[in-house]
Amino acid sequence: MSNPDFNLLITLDAVLAEGSVAGAARRMGLSPSAMSRALARLRLTTGDPLLVRAGRGLVPTPRAVELRAQISQIVDAAKRVLRPAETLNLKQLTQTFTLRTSEGFVENFGPHLIAQVEREAPGVRLRFVQKPNKDGAPLREGTVDLETGVVESSTAPELRTQELFRDRYIGVVRKGHALAKGKITPARYAAGGHIYVSRDGLDKGPIDEALTPFGLERKIITIVGGFSTALALARASDWIASVPERHTGVLRDGMHSFPLPVSTPPFTVSLLWHPRLDADPAHRWLRGLVLATCRHQPE
């Protein structure tokens, strides 16, 4: 068997990324006819049409969809191998990094992290975006550089992860609330009106499971999508918010916090990124900075 033409990998990456012959041709600086011939060779080599006509456009075949992320990683890795090694000069680095984080992360860890970045690399800017779901597509597609969150079975298996810190749920009420005084028992806690935080609209979780052996059930007054909303409502009412302790330190200023009267498992907040950026010097520097910031932040 003859050796394959590895140049076809670059062509395949362009075709799959652009989804059109014309777009791939522009990306590679080729004429449309040359790209059409290259696509014909790809179809012959892979034994798959890769792109098929759908109306006026082209759509990828299942095989093309399967290959897309894999080919992109291979091409990126090859480019890194062939690129001359460079010493990272932080003072001359000019780059914007996008971080997708859970609510509360920026408020608690952002000021120290941003200040450290400004000291070490004044040309670097951090862009924080909200995390509405656990979809790994933004990391795969490169629209997000880093993400924070809890690694679960649904997390994309190819992503790299690094533990940042452990967290636990606590109860929070306004100053002067009845629960701000006296011993908080499971019954006292469950008897109040509760604000439940869920991005998915669910109304049950680990706290409710922990109350079940006591024959207790929380009265959920409302369901919200984020911790800051839950705390804002609790601050202005007699309702109870149950939120992660470390994620919400700043958000809880001026409120009364207390350990939950039932046992719930702690959880680990991790840093996630795509493997294509694993060896990138600037990305590695930023990952180290985030890790140091989280691990040295007061509990």
Which phi and psi angles does 15 have, rounded to 5°? -65, -45
Q: Which class does domain 169-265 fall in?
A: alpha beta
Cross-strand bridge partners of residue 127: 98
pLDDT band (50, 70, 90) for residue 233: very high
Does 219 score more than 50 pLDDT? yes
In which residue are the tokens 């810190």 written? Answer: 165
Which phi and psi angles does 86 have, rounded to 5°? -125, 145
Q: What is the pLDDT of residues 6-63, one digit of tens each?
A: 778 888 888 888 888 888 888 888 898 888 898 888 888 888 888 888 877 788 888 8
Residue 135: the pLDDT is: 76
Q: How far is the C-alpha of 295 from the C-alpha of 35, rounded, in Å?
A: 51
Q: How far is the C-alpha of 130 from the C-alpha of 100, rounded, in Å?
A: 6
Q: Is the model more confident about 75 or about 270?
A: 270
Residue 225 · residue 198 · CB < 8 Å: yes
- Taking every pair of Cα atoms in the chain, the longest distance, rounded to a whole number of angstroms, is 80
Residue 297: the pLDDT is: 61
pLDDT band (50, 70, 90) for residue 167: very high
Task: Output the pTM of the full model.
Answer: 0.67
Q: Residues 65-71: what's their mean pLDDT?
A: 80
90-167+268-296: same fold as 7-82? Answer: no
Does 250 score more than 70 pLDDT? yes
pLDDT band (50, 70, 90) for residue 1: very low
Q: How far is the C-alpha of 101 from the C-alpha of 271, rounded, in Å?
A: 9
Q: Residues 173-193: what's their mean pLDDT?
A: 96
Does 202 score more than 70 pLDDT? yes
Domain ranges of the chain: 7-82, 90-167+268-296, 169-265
Homologous superfamily (CATH) of 90-167+268-296 is Periplasmic binding protein-like II (3.40.190.10)
102: amino acid identity, one letter: S
Does 119 score more than 50 pLDDT? yes
Among the listed residues 104, 270, 253, 264, the one whose alpha carbon sits nearest the alpha carbon of residue 168: 264
Say which CATH architecture domain 7-82 belongs to.
Orthogonal Bundle (1.10)
Cross-strand bridge partners of residue 57: 54
Does 162 score more than 80 pLDDT? yes
Residue 255 · residue 235 · CB < 8 Å: yes
Q: How would you classify the pairing of strands 219-224 and 193-197?
A: parallel
Provide the strand spans (E) within the chain: 51-54, 57-60, 95-101, 124-130, 146-149, 160-167, 169-173, 193-197, 219-224, 240-244, 256-259, 267-273
Q: Residues 117-132: what's their mean pLDDT?
A: 93
In which residue are the tokens 């950026």 written? Answer: 277
Residue 56: the pLDDT is: 75
Q: Whole-number mean pLDDT of the chain?
A: 89
And the tokens for 283?
A: 């990305």
pLDDT band (50, 70, 90) for residue 279: confident
